[in-house]
Amino acid sequence: MSKMFSEENKAAFCNPINLNNPIAVQVLGICSALAVTSQLKPAIVMGLSVTVITAFSNLIISLLRKTIPNRIRIIVQLVVVAALVTIVSQVLKAYVYDVSVQLSVYVGLIITNCILMGRLEAFAMQNGPWSSFLDGIGNGLGYALVLVIVGFIRELFGFGTLFGFNVIPKCLTDAGYVNNGMMVMPAMSLIIVGCVIWAHRSINKEEK
pLDDT digits (tens, 9 = 90+) for 62-97: 999 999 888 999 999 999 999 999 999 999 889 888
Could you tell me which residue, 207 or 192, shows the higher pLDDT?
192
Q: Provide mean pLDDT across the span 3-22.
A: 83
User: For residues 30 and 193, is the Cβ–Cβ distance under 8 A?
Assistant: yes
pLDDT tens digits for 99-109?
888 787 778 77
Mean pLDDT of 172-180: 83
Report d(CA 81, CA 89) in Å as an integer. 12
Range with the poorest average pLDDT among 4-8, 48-52, 115-119: 4-8
pLDDT at 2 (0 to 100): 54
Predicted local distance difference test score (pLDDT) of residue 188 = 87
Distances (CA, A) of 141 to 19, 21, 94, 104, 145: 13, 9, 23, 21, 6
Give the per-residue pLDDT at 183: 87
pLDDT for 129 beyond 80: yes
Sign of CA dihedral 65, 140, 88, 4: positive
DSSP reduced 3-state for 165: strand
What are the C-alpha distances in Å from 151 to residues 43, 53, 55?
6, 21, 23
CA distance 31 to 164: 24
What's the confidence (pLDDT) of residue 167?
85
Query: DSSP letter at 204?
Result: T
What is the sign of the dihedral through the CA atoms of 135, 140, 145 and 147? positive
